[in-house]
Amino acid sequence: FTILSSLLIKRLGLFDTTILSSNSPMSKPGSGGVRSATNANVDRRERLRQIALDTIDLKNDPYFMRNHLGSYECKLCLTLHMNEGSYLAHTQGKRHQQNLARRDAKEKKNKDRPAAKTYKQRIMPRKTEKRGTPGYNVIKQFDRKTNQRGLLFRIQYPLIHSDVQPRQKFESPFSMNPPGDPNYMNVYFAAEPYETIVFRVPNKTVDKNRFLTDWDSEKFNFTFQFFYTQTKPTNR
């Protein structure tokens, strides 16, 4: 009965005693194929990296850059790579080679193109109709707390240009041409379209911590104040 049952089971196909191997057509589809493709990609990248090592010097590669994160970038293709090997493999890839070819073609085209004529632009001086001398007021000052003497200038510019702000500057007697009186220096005030005005003041050391400059754009009044360094009081 046992022998008959076994023969019957085999004949009816109720049990298959064959062990399926991984290479059998009945194995799980895709498992072996994915593994083979992965290995092939790894081998391909390694071959490209070895080729690049023999042909590329990273120190002289203008497109190789290490960023602040420690990874690497290709400035030609704008790609990011985690290590040098990945970048080297990238340089042998289709994208990098195509971009190199485009760059070479562009450089050759620009080289063959005749150089364009360059024209030096002539800058014409700004022409403004002068409005004469502005109104002004000069006040001598004395600070009793610090024993300092100073000057206060108020200049009126009612017709000043809307894009102009008045400015002032000092000129020492030694920078004048020809040199001026060493006992005096000049203070200039300028604002278009008015004439530049100049005042001659004593040539003493100016306290740089006590400058006051103010421009009232509504009343068109420019104020400038400065003090000389502290002077010793005279003994009576």
What's the CATH number where 164 sits?
2.60.40
Tell me the C-alpha distance between 149 and 143, whole Å: 6
Tokens of 211: 């400058």
Whether residues 142 and 99 share a domain: the answer is no
194 Cβ contact list (under 8 Å, min separation 6): 130, 131, 132, 133, 134, 157, 159, 160
Q: Give burial (CB, 10 Å; 0-12/13-18/19+) of 89.
A: buried
Region label for 221, one of left (φ > 0), alpha (ψ between -120 and 50) or beta (otherwise): beta
Return the pLDDT at 21.
Answer: 44
Residue 100 maps to a domain: yes
Task: Note whether 139 and 100 are same-domain residues.
Answer: no
Containing structural domain, residue 85: 46-104
Establish if 57 belongs to a structural domain: yes
Has residue 93 been placed in a domain? yes
pLDDT score of 39: 72
- Strand ordering across the sheet containing 197-202: 167-171, 184-190, 197-202
Q: Answer yes or no: are the C-beta atoms of 185 and 201 closer than 8 Å.
A: yes
Per-10-residue mean pLDDT of the chain, 236 residues long, equals 49 46 49 63 72 73 85 88 86 89 88 67 66 93 95 96 91 89 95 94 94 94 95 56
Q: Which pLDDT value is given to residue 113?
A: 74
* Cβ-contact 199, 186 below 8 angstroms: yes
Rounded Cα distance between 105 and 216, Å, is 60
Q: 128 lies in a domain? A: no
Residues 144 and 81 in one domain: no
55 inside domain: yes
- Classify residue 185 as left (phi > 0), alpha (psi -120 to 50) or beta: beta
Q: Within a domain: residue 221?
A: yes
pLDDT of residue 24: 47
The answer to whether residues 145 and 205 belong to one domain is: yes
Domain termination residue (choose one: 57, 88, 104):
104
209 and 147 in a common domain: yes
Q: What is the dihedral of CA 94, 96, 102, 103, to 10 degrees?
A: -160
Count of domains observed in the chain: 2
Residues in the chain: 236
30 domain residue, yes or no: no
